[in-house]
Amino acid sequence: MKKKRFNQKGVAAYFYLFFFFSLMLLFLFAVAIPFMQTFNIEAYSMGEEILQQSQGAIDDIDNTEVRESIQGMVDNQLDSTETQIDILGTFFQYGWLIIILIVLLIIFMATRETVETAIA
């Protein structure tokens, strides 16, 4: 029975890479994405108030082409922020699934390496 050495065929590299990747994903899904979602919600609420106040000035523009263009930009800004919040919410909601998939990939790579090098 051979002993597994960490310098054999990149075993240490796999271990450190997946360990770092797992920590990064855990930080991302547990801390960063909820923080970004909260930040986007706060920015959206502040920005929406400003954009609603500008609606009166936009309605006073006489040139319909310019008014519609500016109104389209305001609407696009509101829609894009809502989309960002929805995407971050989905990532936060299904982050556990991605973490499980990464852990399964780590286990698969470790067992595959063991099989390939014929170490029991």
Domain positions in the chain: 38-116
- Between 120 and 15, where is the model more confident? 15
pLDDT at position 108 is 83
Choose among 78, 102, 91: nearest CA to 30: 91
- Gap between the Cα atoms of 13 and 113, Å rounded: 12
Identify the band that residue 3 occupies on the pLDDT scale cut at 50, 70 and 90.
low
Q: Regarding predicted confidence, which is higher, 39 or 119?
A: 39
Q: Are 86 and 36 in contact (CB under 8 A)?
A: no
Q: What percent of the chain has pLDDT over 90?
A: 0
